[in-house]
Chain A
Amino acid sequence: MDILSNLAMGFSIALSPWSLMLAVIGCFIGTIVGALPGLGPANGVALLIPITFSMGLDAMSALVLLTSVYYGAMYGGRISSILLNIPGDEPAMMTTLDGYPMARQGRAGEALVVSGVASFVGAFLATIGLMLLAPVLSRVAYQFGPAEYFALYLLAFCTLGGLGSNNQAKSALAALIGLGIAMIGLDKTTGMPRFTFGELHLMDGIDFLVAIVGLFAVSEVFFFIESHGKNSAIGVVLDKVTIPWKALRHTTGAMLRGTGIGFVAGILPGAGASLGSFLAYVAEKAVAKDKDSFGKGNVRGVAAPEAGNNAAAGGALIPMLTLGVPGSGTTAVLLALLLTLNITPGPLLFTERPEVVWGLIAALLIANIVLLIMNVPMVKIFVKILSVPSHILLPGVTMVAFVGIYSLTGSTFDMQLMVAFGILGYVCRKLDIPTVPIILGILLGNAMEDNLRRAMVLSNGDWTYLFSSSVSTGLWIAAIVGFLAPIFLRRFLKRPEVQPEAIGD
């Protein structure tokens, strides 16, 4: 009953007309920010922090506005994933795999509605989960030591191969390229430069946003010019949006599974929404009977990662609020926001400033309902923003990509690096090498190494320590099986698959 009275207190703070207005504005801006390629929740929220301060908002209003932007960007990311094959933000990567083929088949409306509802299911249930489990679940993450984290990252990379590519060597190489790039910069432990070749710009390492925007947005420019607009991402038409009840019923299971997986992934510090949507997709593909149709426009391949990504966004708030450990890049920005508002996250926050915690939770529940209304019946407004002619949209997106990176880093070098990543992305896509593992490698590389080294410090250099706990052993086995299984399974699966395709051509 504690929870209910706390929640009532939260709503009494968050339901004021002023807060509601801020939530609507935040959701609207967030959805656009999420939908525009190259602008994601992290830089969207980061951009708005100075504005909210210059507007003189109090702590609670600033929190309501920016968490609405955060959730809104999570919803919005799917729109350009589906219509443009460019993830609006980094966790929406997995939505491109089935969402874009659906749009190419003229089912863009269905994909948008199903993913919108999936986003709502994921985010809403995760917010309830956050409410119930915030104090309890923090202990699960406490039990994860560095050895377990190292194995968890390994599992993530090994299982990426099974879905991203038809060739295990290629997806493994992609992940390794990302990890290799992550090593550039100063080594945190010793403070010594690695792979910087005396170049000052490389001392801080390569910003993963530069890599993401380059690999996805800039490579799209080259693809677009090569195809002269034919077969291109941009130009998908959305005719009418009706509610596909059948598809919604069909994907209920996928949404709930995705929510569960995403929520857990969001709670684990360092994993976050990208891993949540990724694991949700992999799991959905694993339990599905029609595995072959994944990547070719299976509606469950849209529902699961989108529920997973939004559930992870909610779950990621748990370690951020209870431990002060952000679960993702965006929650790291939110942590910075809390600290600037003079709110110190941690176990004490729940007892000392309950109005902040419960006001925030109530605001999240309200934001979700606003977002469902905005993103299902009103999705056409956001699509309008994206259905501009390609000779305007593509240069526009490119320029926004440059502005995003330029305003983030202020560096010519980073913009040139972004173009270089664009070329890498173009070559990789030509060679059928998945780019998602490259990004994950860059994102997780330093944390993975850090955990390996901390594990070795704990064990005094004894490498068997990595397998010593039952959790880490399980993760290692899952990683190895996950990497090898597709190689053997493909042999069995390929025979019946190849022939109908040959006839179809």
Chain B
Amino acid sequence: MKADRIFGLVLMAVALGYLYSATSIQTSFLSDPVGPRVFPYLIGGFVVIGSAFLIIKPDANADWPGIGTLVQLAIALAVLLGYASAVRPFGFVIPTAIAAGVLSYQINPKPVTAVLTGVGLSVGLFVLFNMVLGLSLVGFPRSWF
């Protein structure tokens, strides 16, 4: 199965869901002649047409990564999502050091360099953003104070 065809099918399913969801948008009695539903209907409708084209006439396949790389990508994704969730509760410095260190290790697998990069980036960016650019990032968990 060609990747385009899969993407077309996924997109069509999303578009149908989008159209269905659009039917339940509430209109107000004050509404204009078009209302809040018509433009989403147009978008969903054209996506259905466009994804049908993709299913009927897919392009040649791209090179997809092997299992080893997919695992690496999954690790990177987990790190980024974990980081996104950790910054608020744990402050900037510690999550940044860990996330930057792991990403650095994934690109250049030298543990010492990775640790130094992580710590250096974390402290350096914290200083830059807070002292030079005047953002007010929270550095450490609030419970530490």
Contact B117 A395 (CB under 8 A): yes
Contacts of B53 in A (CB 8 A): 169
CA distance A183 to B35 in the complex (A): 13
| B143 within 8 Å of A (CB atoms) | no
Contacts of A190 in B (CB 8 A): 26-28, 30-31, 35-36
Contact A225 B107 (CB under 8 A): yes
Give the shortest distance, in Å, between B97 (CB) and chain A (any CB).
10
> Which chain B residue has the least Cβ–Cβ distance from A406?
B87
Q: If the complex has contacts A390-B107, A399-B99, are A180 and B31 also in contact, measured as CB distance less than 8 A?
A: no
Residues in B lying within 8 Å of A, measured CB to CB: 3-4, 7, 11, 18, 21-22, 25-28, 30-36, 39-40, 43-44, 46-47, 50-51, 53-54, 57, 59, 62, 64-65, 69, 72-73, 76-77, 80-81, 83-85, 87-88, 92, 96, 99-101, 103-108, 113-114, 117-118, 120-122, 125, 129, 133-135, 137
> Which chain B residue has the least Cβ–Cβ distance from A460?
B33
Contacts of B21 in A (CB 8 A): 195, 197
Contacts of A189 in B (CB 8 A): 31-32, 36
CA distance A290 to B28 in the complex (A): 54
Give the shortest distance, in Å, between A19 (CB) and chain B (any CB).
22
Give the shortest distance, in Å, between A195 (CB) and chain B (any CB).
6
Q: If the complex has contacts A222-B76, A392-B117, are A399 and B100 also in contact, measured as CB distance less than 8 A?
A: yes
Would you list 23 pairs from A and B whose C-beta atoms are within 8 A, ordered by A residue? A173-B50, A180-B47, A190-B27, A190-B30, A190-B36, A192-B28, A194-B25, A221-B103, A225-B73, A228-B107, A391-B107, A392-B121, A398-B80, A398-B103, A399-B100, A399-B121, A400-B125, A402-B83, A402-B87, A407-B129, A422-B80, A448-B39, A449-B39
Give the shortest distance, in Å, between B47 (CB) and chain A (any CB).
5
Query: Contact check: which of A47, A50, A396, A461 meets B121 at CB < 8 Å?
Result: A396
Residues in A lying within 8 Å of B, measured CB to CB: 47, 50-51, 54, 166-167, 169-170, 172-173, 176-177, 179-180, 183, 187, 189-195, 197, 218, 221-222, 224-226, 228-229, 389-392, 394-396, 398-400, 402-403, 406-407, 412, 415-416, 418-419, 422-423, 427, 430-433, 448-449, 452-454, 456-457, 460-461
Contact A430 B3 (CB under 8 A): yes
Contacts of B121 in A (CB 8 A): 392, 395-396, 399
Contact A396 B100 (CB under 8 A): yes
Give the shortest distance, in Å, between A442 (CB) and chain B (any CB).
12
Query: Contact check: which of A54, A173, A391 meets B113 at CB < 8 Å?
Result: A391
CA distance A406 to B125 in the complex (A): 14
Contact B69 A194 (CB under 8 A): no
Contacts of A191 in B (CB 8 A): 28
Contacts of B43 in A (CB 8 A): 176, 179-180, 183
> Which chain A residue has the least Cβ–Cβ distance from B53?
A169
> Which chain A residue has the least Cβ–Cβ distance from B47?
A176
Contacts of A419 in B (CB 8 A): 77, 80-81, 84
**Which applies to chain A's interface (DSSP): helix, strand, loop or mixed?**
helix
Contacts of A222 in B (CB 8 A): 73, 76-77
* Given A169-B53, A395-B101; 10 other pairs, CB 8 A cutoff: A50-B134, A169-B54, A170-B59, A173-B51, A195-B40, A395-B99, A395-B104, A396-B121, A399-B125, A449-B39
Query: Contact check: which of A47, A173, A195 meets B47 at CB < 8 Å?
Result: A173
Give the shortest distance, in Å, between A99 (CB) and chain B (any CB).
23
Query: Contact check: which of A187, A194, A226, A412 meets B84 at CB < 8 Å?
Result: A412
Q: If the complex has contacts A169-B53, A173-B50, are A226 and B80 also in contact, measured as CB distance less than 8 A?
A: no
Give the shortest distance, in Å, between A167 (CB) and chain B (any CB).
6
CA distance A77 to B50 in the complex (A): 33
CA distance A457 to B104 in the complex (A): 55
Contact B62 A51 (CB under 8 A): no
Contact A416 B34 (CB under 8 A): no
> Which chain B residue has the least Cβ–Cβ distance from A44?
B133
Give the shortest distance, in Å, between A227 (CB) and chain B (any CB).
9
CA distance A394 to B121 in the complex (A): 11
Contact B133 A47 (CB under 8 A): yes
Contacts of B107 in A (CB 8 A): 224-225, 228-229, 390-391, 394-395
Give the shortest distance, in Å, between A220 (CB) and chain B (any CB).
11
> Which chain B residue has the least Cβ–Cβ distance from A33?
B133
Give the shortest distance, in Å, between B54 (CB) and chain A (any CB).
6
Contacts of B117 in A (CB 8 A): 391-392, 395
Contact B125 A218 (CB under 8 A): no
Contact B73 A412 (CB under 8 A): no
Closest 4 CB pairs of A and B: A461-B33, A415-B84, A391-B108, A395-B100
Contact A415 B87 (CB under 8 A): yes
CA distance A224 to B107 in the complex (A): 8
Give the shortest distance, in Å, between B121 (CB) and chain A (any CB).
5
Contact A170 B65 (CB under 8 A): no
Contact A173 B28 (CB under 8 A): no
> Which chain B residue has the least Cβ–Cβ distance from A174?
B50
Contact A452 B47 (CB under 8 A): no
Q: If the complex has contacts A190-B31, A190-B36, are A416 and B137 also in contact, measured as CB distance less than 8 A?
A: no
Query: Contact check: which of A228, A403, A416 meets B85 at CB < 8 Å?
Result: A416
> Which chain A residue has the least Cβ–Cβ distance from B57?
A169
Contact A394 B103 (CB under 8 A): yes
> Which chain A residue has the least Cβ–Cβ distance from B50?
A173
Give the shortest distance, in Å, between A147 (CB) and chain B (any CB).
13
Contacts of B108 in A (CB 8 A): 229, 389-391
Give the shortest distance, in Å, between B71 (CB) and chain A (any CB).
10
Give the shortest distance, in Å, between B19 (CB) and chain A (any CB).
10
Give the shortest distance, in Å, between B59 (CB) and chain A (any CB).
6
Contacts of B76 in A (CB 8 A): 221-222, 225
Contacts of B103 in A (CB 8 A): 221, 394-395, 398
CA distance A187 to B77 in the complex (A): 33
